[in-house]
Amino acid sequence: MTGLLYLIPIALLLGVLGLVAFLWALREGQYDDPEGAAARILMDDDIAKGSDAENKRRY
């Protein structure tokens, strides 16, 4: 049973990691434009050749 003394904190730690990741994503604005995020993955950034400003952009 002493294994629980390690396992419970480990389980909690993993849970906290998930929570921190979620809060981080929320603060970074990842939930501001869910539809755009779904669409942007389809865009070919490599093909776009244009002004310097365009090449500076990275999403």
Partner 1 sequence: MRSDQVPGIEMLGCPSGLEPSADSINQDHSDIIDPTPYISRRDGTYTLELAVFGAKCAGCISKIETAMIALDGIDNARLNLSTGRLSLKWHSTILAPIEITRTLHDIGYRAAPFDPAAGESDHDAEGRRLLRALGVAGFATANVMLLSVSVWAGGGEMGEGARGLMHWASAIIAVPAALYAGRPFFASAWNALKNRQANMDVPISLAVVLALSLSVYEFFAGGEHAYFDAAVMLLFFLLIGRYLDHRLRWRARAAARDLMSMQTITSRRIRNDDTIESVAVRDIKVGDRLLLSPGDKAPVDGMIINGSSYADVSLVTGESAPRKLSINDQIHAGVINKSDQLTMRATASVENSLIADLMRLIEAGEQSRSRYIRLADRAAALYVPVVHSLAFLTLTGWLIAGGGVRLAIMNAVAVLIITCPCALGLAAPAVQVVATGRLFKSGILVKSGDALERLAEATKIVFDKTGTLTIGRPQLKNRSALPADSLDIAASLARISRHPLSRAIVDASGAGTIAADAVEFAGLGIEASINGQRARLGSAEWVGATKSDDTKLESWLKIGNTDPVRLIFEDMPHKDAASVIAALKNDGLSVELLSGDREDVVRQTAEQLQVSDYSASVSPQDKSAKLQELTDSGFKVAMVGDGLNDTPSLALAHVSLSPGSAADASQAAADFVYLSEGVGPIVEAVTVSRKARKRVLENFAFAAFYNACAIPLAVFGFVTPLIAALAMSGSSMIVTLNALRLSKGPAPNDNSFKIRLGD
Binding mask 11-40 for partner 1 (x = CB under 8 A): xx--xx-xx--xx--x----xxxxxx--xx
Q: Positive or negative, the Cα torsion across 10, 11, 13, 17?
A: positive
Distances in Å between the Cα of 54 and the Cα atoms of 30, 48, 50, 57 are 22, 8, 6, 5
Please report, as a single letter, which amino acid is at residue 1. M
Q: Which of 10, 43, 46, 58 binds partner 1 (CB under 8 A)?
A: 43
**Site of interaction with partner 1 (CB under 8 A):** 1, 4-5, 8, 11-12, 15-16, 18-19, 22-23, 26, 31-36, 39-43, 48, 50-51, 53-54, 57
